[in-house]
């Protein structure tokens, strides 16, 4: 009879079928109501077990596996719950649960494992004993019976109940160690042992037995140290010239792992594996690659001029997104090679397109494990180095680690300036000491080396507010000087500023730190009006307030509806016209338009909110399993209404300079609700009048135009349809036009071209 040893409580015997060896749970800092909630859901599971003879329907074991959905979703969720640093054993256990279901070895392991996962951590020892005993008894009963759909429903409910802060990292680690023992018969980690352990082998979607935790070989030729990273310009090398103005561009963000997947085949035609993740799980790799992006450049050329790619440096296998570097001078092997990246640059240049690369100066991946955990505090001692970070200059010895890493632990208070400027972003990354001159030198070398390798036109600066301002000053100066050496006189620094207060943008845009910045101010201020839930007068006031603070720098704000860190713009049940109105607004108003798949009208998917930012990082490629209904129809449909609208607006921006560079003057807004919003864009004596309708009904209004540029008698033609025309009339010494716009429509009035 095995024993369950509980801290501060007497040992309690439990059925041997449930536990294979002695376990020791330490009480964790859980919410007081955690076990009360758990009791309630366990009661539902007990009732399901007692309600009727349990029967396993044959369909549960069908090759297609449709009726495995609920249980496998539970397993995927559990893996997500245990994705924090230090939870590798728990992740492995969850994968074993999923493997048991997907390989159709039966669902007992899935259900039993789910019950045991629910026992992670503890608020009070006496309640932990009771719940552990109850779980053990339930697990033994499940071992002797087959689960039915009612039990599956209860497990799904259990999943939803315990998402959030009910299980902190420490409790997950403890649970993970013992779950590993339950599943694999391996001993739990000893107290004080390193928490990062490489799990055993498992099978991926292609049946291979290499685990997700396996680190791919470092690319041949990638510099292991900065001494190997030459900044000499090759003789005869030609670099792409910068655009005259970034105001002329349209940006499109691509997350490489999710956008395009070029299928590789061997000589016999057999598909070769291109991913090491779970294709259904939003939090693992799905196999997108650089060649897959190249394959879709003609699609992108119709709606954008500049591609912003997610970070391309090598990451640990669990990081699909690129923001957790373990080799900062190597292309991620799962994405391709340096040759593939350089091929992307050539293909873009041949199409007259530009390349911006997302780069992370704030942090590395999960390189360091701290003594005493990740709670924010004073600089911590290092328990061990998890991954062999390269270039090795950052981690050559313990002195180098202390020199280059903050080691303060995770940010827990987002209102604390000290934590935001010194702490690790939650999720396992380690902050670099960007305030330290020696660390700055290494980061500057990184930037210049990549500029030389990629011939990039600009860089997206991730986690901008977390990096020391002193480093940004040095980066701008050194970066622009090096770019000029390559013939790039307008190299772009695009900052990820995510503040809703325009005052934060003053030192960055007006003082010349950044060439462009994400317009989170308008994203927050304009949301209700762009969804048609507030008067269009909100858009007028938003523009006025923003321009009052930033003046001409407003031109350099990047206008977006969605990005890889936000939920999709279009909500369930909203007419697609709402999105079309909002797209027309960001393409015609002051600033630089930015797309993240909105041309195909993706919607927020009910039930995915718990995934947080991963919810909007769906697969675009045909073979993808984690998809959006809009992408499932056709991810790259050039005939969809949204694509055709954006393509038309992109063409008009190219044809009419006022839409790119003109100042903006509001001509009409509705103070009472959805309806007309009109403004003129004026540049060098040319006026373009934009009239939008946020309402589901046809609306019209009379509005002023510039009498000096568009005097009475001037005829304007809607460039969107090429047919609708209006003529300016004299009113009180000025010039007015009357315009009607269909529901969610846009009209772009210009002077007709002279014959």
**pLDDT over 90, % of the chain:** 59
Handedness of CA 48, 49, 55, 60 (dihedral sign): positive
Burial, 126: exposed, middle or buried (Cβ in 10 Å; 0-12, 13-18, 19+)? middle
For residue 253, pLDDT beyond 80: yes
Q: Which residues contact 416 (CB under 8 A, 6 or more apart)?
A: none
pLDDT per position as a tens digit, 523-560: 999 999 999 999 999 999 999 999 999 999 999 999 99
pLDDT range class, residue 265, cuts 50, 70, 90: low
Handedness of CA 264, 267, 270, 274 (dihedral sign): negative
For residue 15, pLDDT beyond 70: no
pLDDT of residue 214: 54
Give the Cα separation of 167 and 239 in Å (integer). Answer: 51
CB neighbours of residue 658 within 10 Å: 22
Q: Which CA distances in Å does 331 have to 125, 320, 441, 564, 678? A: 49, 13, 21, 21, 46
Q: What is the mean pLDDT of residues 323-350?
A: 96
* Residue 65 backbone phi and psi in degrees, to 5: 70, 25
Packing angle, helices 169-184 and 88-102, rounded to 10: 50
For residue 367, pLDDT beyond 70: yes
Burial, 548: exposed, middle or buried (Cβ in 10 Å; 0-12, 13-18, 19+)? exposed
pLDDT of residue 534: 97
Packing angle, helices 108-117 and 69-81, rounded to 10: 40
For residue 636, pLDDT beyond 70: yes
pLDDT range class, residue 267, cuts 50, 70, 90: low
| Most confident among 7-16, 633-642, 649-658 (mean pLDDT) | 649-658
Mean predicted lDDT score pLDDT of the chain: 77
pLDDT range class, residue 625, cuts 50, 70, 90: confident
Within its chain, how far is the Cα of 478 from the centroid? 29
pLDDT range class, residue 623, cuts 50, 70, 90: confident
pLDDT of residue 93: 39
Handedness of CA 180, 182, 186, 192 (dihedral sign): positive
For residue 128, pLDDT beyond 60: no
pLDDT of residue 271: 63
Asked if 464 and 360 touch (Cβ cutoff 8 Å), the reply is: no
For residue 451, pLDDT beyond 90: yes
pLDDT range class, residue 319, cuts 50, 70, 90: confident
pLDDT of residue 456: 98
DSSP string, 210-238: --TTPPPPPPTT--SSGGG---PPPTT--
Give the Cα separation of 570 and 630 in Å (integer). Answer: 11
Tokens 């560079």 belong to 661
DSSP 8-state secondary structure symbol assigned to residue 721: T
Asked if 71 and 155 touch (Cβ cutoff 8 Å), the reply is: yes
Tokens 């790799």 belong to 285
Of the two residues 610 and 677, the one the predictor is more confident about is: 677
**Residue 204: which of 71, 106, 93, 102 has the closest Cα?**
102
pLDDT range class, residue 459, cuts 50, 70, 90: very high
HEC assignment per residue over 646-687: HHHHHHHHHHCCHHHHCEEEEEEECCCCCCEEEEEEEECCEE
Give the Cα separation of 120 and 38 in Å (integer). Answer: 11
For residue 29, pLDDT beyond 70: no
Tokens 């409790």 belong to 171
Mark 383-392 as b/e (b = at least 16 C-beta within 10 Å).
beebbebbbe
Of the two residues 329 and 19, the one the predictor is more confident about is: 329
pLDDT of residue 270: 66
Give the Cα separation of 726 and 423 in Å (integer). Answer: 58
pLDDT per position as a tens digit, 132-167: 454 445 444 444 443 333 333 433 333 333 333 333
Q: Can you say whether residue 724 is alpha, beta or left, with left for phi > 0 and alpha for psi between -120 and 50 degrees?
A: beta
- On the CB side of 480, CA atoms within 13 Å amount to 13
CB neighbours of residue 453 within 10 Å: 16
Q: Which of 34-43, 299-308, 438-447, 661-670 has the lowest mean pLDDT?
A: 34-43
* pTM for the model: 0.75
Give the Cα separation of 339 and 291 in Å (integer). Answer: 10
Q: What is the mean pLDDT of residues 275-304?
A: 89
pLDDT of residue 745: 98
Q: What are the E-state strand segments in 333-491? A: 354-359, 363-364, 368-370, 382-385, 430-431, 458-461
Q: What is the mean pLDDT of residues 345-360?
A: 98
For residue 702, pLDDT beyond 60: yes
pLDDT of residue 754: 58
Of the two residues 444 and 107, the one the predictor is more confident about is: 444
Q: Which of 384-388, 391-395, 476-480, 664-668 has the lowest mean pLDDT?
A: 384-388
What is the SS3 assignment for 278? coil
The CA angle 691-692-697, to the nearest 5 degrees, is 125
pLDDT of residue 513: 86
Q: What is the mean pLDDT of residues 680-700?
A: 98
Of the two residues 629 and 135, the one the predictor is more confident about is: 629
Q: What are the E-state strand segments in 214-372? A: 251-254, 306-309, 313-314, 327-331, 354-359, 363-364, 368-370
| Most confident among 52-61, 193-202, 263-272 (mean pLDDT) | 263-272
Q: 313-314 and 327-331 as β-strands: parallel, antiparallel, unpaired?
A: antiparallel
What is the SS3 assignment for 419? helix
Tokens 């846009």 belong to 746
What is the SS3 assignment for 390? strand
pLDDT range class, residue 731, cuts 50, 70, 90: very high
Helix, strand, coil content of the chain in percent (nearest 5): 40, 15, 45
pLDDT range class, residue 242, cuts 50, 70, 90: very high
pLDDT per position as a tens digit, 68-125: 233 333 333 333 433 334 444 333 433 343 333 333 223 333 333 444 444 333 333 3
pLDDT per position as a tens digit, 176-221: 333 333 333 333 323 333 322 333 333 333 333 333 345 667 888 9
CB neighbours of residue 16 within 10 Å: 12
Asked if 372 and 384 touch (Cβ cutoff 8 Å), the reply is: no
pLDDT of residue 532: 97
């Amino acid at each position: 009879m095995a024993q369950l040893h509980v801290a501060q409580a007497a040992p309690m015997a439990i059925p041997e079928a449930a536990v294979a060896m002695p376990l020791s749970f330490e009480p964790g800092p859980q919410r007081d109501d955690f076990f009360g909630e758990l009791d309630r859901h366990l009661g539902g599971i007990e009732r399901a077990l007692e309600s009727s003879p349990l029967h396993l329907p044959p369909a549960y074991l069908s090759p297609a596996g449709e009726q495995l959905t609920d249980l496998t979703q539970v397993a995927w969720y559990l893996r997500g719950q245990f994705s924090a640093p230090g939870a590798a054993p728990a992740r492995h256990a969850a994968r074993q649960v999923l493997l048991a279901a997907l390989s159709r070895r039966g669902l007992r392991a899935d259900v039993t494992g789910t019950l045991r996962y629910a026992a992670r951590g503890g608020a009070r020892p006496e309640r932990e004993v009771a719940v552990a005993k109850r779980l053990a008894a339930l697990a033994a009963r499940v071992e002797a019976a087959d689960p039915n759909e009612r039990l599956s429903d209860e497990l799904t409910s259990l999943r939803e109940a315990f998402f959030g802060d009910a299980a902190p990292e420490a409790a997950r680690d403890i649970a993970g160690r013992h779950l590993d023992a339950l599943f694999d018969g391996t001993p739990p980690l000893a107290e004080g042992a390193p928490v990062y352990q490489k799990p055993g082998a498992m099978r991926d979607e292609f049946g291979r037995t290499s685990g997700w935790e396996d680190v791919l070989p470092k690319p041949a030729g990638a510099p292991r140290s900065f001494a190997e990273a030459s900044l000499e310009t090759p003789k005869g090398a030609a670099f792409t010239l910068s655009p005259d103005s970034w105001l002329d561009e349209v940006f499109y963000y691509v997350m490489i792992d999710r956008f395009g997947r070029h299928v590789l085949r061997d000589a016999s035609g057999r598909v070769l594996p291109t991913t090491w993740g779970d294709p259904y799980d939003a939090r693992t790799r799905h196999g997108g690659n650089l060649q897959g992006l190249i394959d879709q450049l003609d699609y992108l050329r119709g709606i954008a001029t500049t591609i912003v790619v997610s970070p391309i440096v090598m990451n640990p296998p669990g990081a699909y997104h690129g923001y957790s570097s373990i080799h900062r001078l190597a292309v991620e092997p799962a994405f391709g090679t340096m040759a593939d990246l350089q091929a992307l640059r050539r293909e873009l240049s041949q199409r007259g397109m530009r390349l911006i690369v997302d780069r992370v100066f704030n942090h590395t991946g999960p390189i360091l494990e701290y003594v005493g955990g990740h709670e924010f505090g004073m600089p911590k001692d290092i328990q061990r180095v998890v991954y062999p970070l390269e270039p090795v200059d950052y981690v050559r010895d313990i002195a180098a680690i202390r020199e280059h890493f903050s080691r303060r632990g995770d940010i827990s208070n987002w209102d604390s300036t000290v934590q935001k400027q010194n702490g690790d972003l939650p999720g396992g990354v380690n902050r670099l000491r960007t305030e330290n001159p020696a660390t700055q030198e290494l980061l500057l070398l990184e930037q210049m080396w990549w500029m030389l390798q990629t011939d990039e036109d600009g860089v997206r600066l991730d986690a901008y507010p977390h990096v020391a301002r002193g480093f940004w000053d040095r980066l701008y100066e050194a970066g622009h000087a090096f770019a000029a050496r390559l013939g790039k006189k307008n190299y772009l620094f695009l900052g990820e500023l995510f503040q809703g207060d325009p005052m934060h943008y003053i030192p960055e845009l007006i003082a010349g730190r950044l060439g462009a910045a994400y317009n989170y101010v308008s994203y927050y201020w304009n949301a209700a009006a762009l969804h048609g839930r507030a008067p269009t007068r909100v858009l007028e006031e938003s523009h006025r307030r923003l321009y009052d603070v930033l003046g001409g720098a407003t031109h350099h704000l990047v206008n977006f509806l969605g990005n890889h860190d936000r939920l999709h713009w279009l909500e369930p049940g909203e007419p697609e016209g709402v999105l079309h109105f909002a797209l027309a607004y960001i393409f015609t108003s002051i600033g630089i338009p930015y797309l993240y798949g909105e041309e195909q009208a993706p919607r927020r998917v009910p039930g995915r909110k718990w995934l947080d930012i991963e919810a909007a990082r769906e697969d675009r490629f045909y073979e993808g399993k984690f998809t959006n209904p809009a992408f499932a129809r056709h991810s790259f449909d050039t005939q969809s209404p949204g694509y055709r609208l954006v393509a038309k607006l992109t063409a008009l921006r190219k044809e009419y300079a006022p839409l790119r560079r003109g100042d903006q003057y509001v001509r009409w807004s509705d103070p009472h609700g959805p309806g007309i919003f009109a403004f003129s864009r004026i540049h060098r004596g040319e006026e373009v009048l934009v009239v939008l309708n946020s309402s589901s009904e046809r609306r019209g209004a009379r509005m002023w135009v510039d009498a000096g540029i568009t005097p009475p008698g001037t005829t304007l033609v809607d460039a969107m349809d090429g047919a609708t025309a209006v003529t300016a009339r004299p009113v009180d010494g000025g010039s007015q036009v009357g315009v009607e716009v269909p529901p969610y429509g846009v009209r772009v009035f210009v002077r007709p071209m002279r014959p």
